[in-house]
Amino acid sequence: MIVPGYRDHPTEPWDPVAPVDPAEAEDFLRRCYVENPRLGPVEPRLAIVRAQIAATGCYVHTTDELSYGAKMAWRNASRCIGRLYWRSLMVLDRRRARTADEIFSLLVHHLHTAGTGSIRPVISVFAAAQPGQPCARVWNEQLIRYAGYRDEDGRTTGDARQVGFTAAMRGFGWQGKGEQFDVLPLAIETPAEGVRLYELPERAIREVPIAHPEFPWFAELGLRWHAVPAIANMRLTVGGVHYPLAPFNGWYMGTEIGARNLADADRYDLLPVVAARMGLDTSRESTLWRDRALVELNRAVLWSFERDGVKMTDHHTESQRFLAHIRNEEKAGREVPADWTWIVPPMSGGITPVFHRYYPEADLRPAFYLDDEAAALARDGMRGCPYGK
């Protein structure tokens, strides 16, 4: 998996009233300046930061500090297998944006930047939280997500994970088509305007139709998936400063779509459909019909992205690259925290090299965190959202 937080992520308590911890700020700055000698001596900078914290309870990162802090947060993401590329992250400083219209325009630019040509890792960092003051945020868990509709008989069309959020959006005026792959609107909240809804333009949504290299009937299923997995509801924490709106993306590992999004029983639940079209014996588990259907579903995803020239990686290649990342970090004298249950792919885990070893676990900062409120909204849908656009 290339981006941290794609699946359910543990929440981390955060007191939005508390001032920045000077010790955390100093720890980050010392590491940042040691790893980037071009920034010059750190002591003069520390004096400025201490004065800012004493006066306001917070401090302002320079563009260089923010950029490197975001990269460090990716490097520290213990649940991300794709950290070999952490230095390549494009950091877009959007801290001056205030209105919902401005934020939406910049989020569209983010998707265009990330998804044009070869997919590239991008993060857009908006205004930092100030002690005791409300801040802007996006309530969607990803910038692009498909709606989920549940009828009176309990049948679901679309992404079952998004049923609650979709119902909330419809309750406040959004009208989806009721189809399998309707892109949800963005719900953007600002202190001055409350929550407003925005439809993403087609030019911001790059999608791949899913077909199969051997089974012509696969295209008849009408499957597709978007190319840019942009996480929107995780808070970036750098040196004690919190950025509640900092959407980021990498590129997909095939199993995230083929073994999770399209296959999970509480998502699109397509394994029974694929197995039936393959003519497999589904009368008992010992026929391994789920495994066979899963393999072909993942083949279809990888083949389709490659056919359309959209960047994607497979779980075997990425497992090897993660071990290369560990070797690089060890040479730099840094430990690599990793959560084994996330690093091991959700398919064929035992035949990947990341399966056969243990990893240290640590909560290192800078980091990405999912807040309790964001987690509840992703799970249950929004409440009290006025339909603004």
Of 25, 31, 5, 36, give the one whose Cα is nearest residue 246.
Answer: 5
> CA 384, CA 263: separation in Å to the nearest integer?
33
> CA 374, CA 381: separation in Å to the nearest integer?
10
Q: What ranges in the chain are assigned the alpha helix state H?
A: 22-35, 43-56, 63-75, 100-115, 163-171, 254-255, 271-278, 289-307, 315-331, 340-343, 372-380
Q: Assess whether 251 carries a catalytic annotation.
A: yes
Which residue of the set 26, 65, 189, 256 is catalytic? 256
Give me 287's structure tokens. Answer: 């026929």
- As annotated, the binding site includes 80
Contacts of 197 (CB under 8 A, 6+ apart): 169, 172, 173, 174, 185, 186, 187, 188, 385, 387, 388, 389
For the beta carbon of residue 323, count every other beta carbon within 10 angstroms: 15
- As annotated, the binding site for heme includes 80
Which residue of the set 251, 289, 296, 318 is catalytic? 251
> CA 176, CA 196: separation in Å to the nearest integer?
16
Q: Assess whether 217 carries a catalytic annotation.
A: no
Report the b/e string of 3-33 with b at 16+ CB within 10 A. bbbbeebeeeebeeeebbebebbbebbebbb
Q: Assess whether 83 carries a catalytic annotation.
A: yes
Which residue of the set 31, 75, 79, 83 is catalytic? 83
Of 20, 89, 98, 101, give the one whose Cα is nearest residue 61.
Answer: 20
DSSP structure class, residue 199: P
Which residue of the set 26, 31, 45, 80 is catalytic? 80
Q: What's the sign of the alpha-carbon dihedral 378, 372, 124, 87?
A: negative
- The angle at the Cα of 94, spanning 90 to 97, to the nearest 5 degrees, equals 160
Q: Assess whether 256 carries a catalytic annotation.
A: yes
Of 92, 145, 84, give the one whose Cα is nearest residue 320.
Answer: 84
> CA 278, CA 274: separation in Å to the nearest integer?
6
- For the beta sheet containing 186-190, the strands, ordered from the edge strand earlier in sequence to the opposite edge, are 137-138, 186-190, 194-198
Residue matched to tokens 């690089």: 328
Q: Which residues are annotated as catalytic?
A: 80, 83, 251, 256
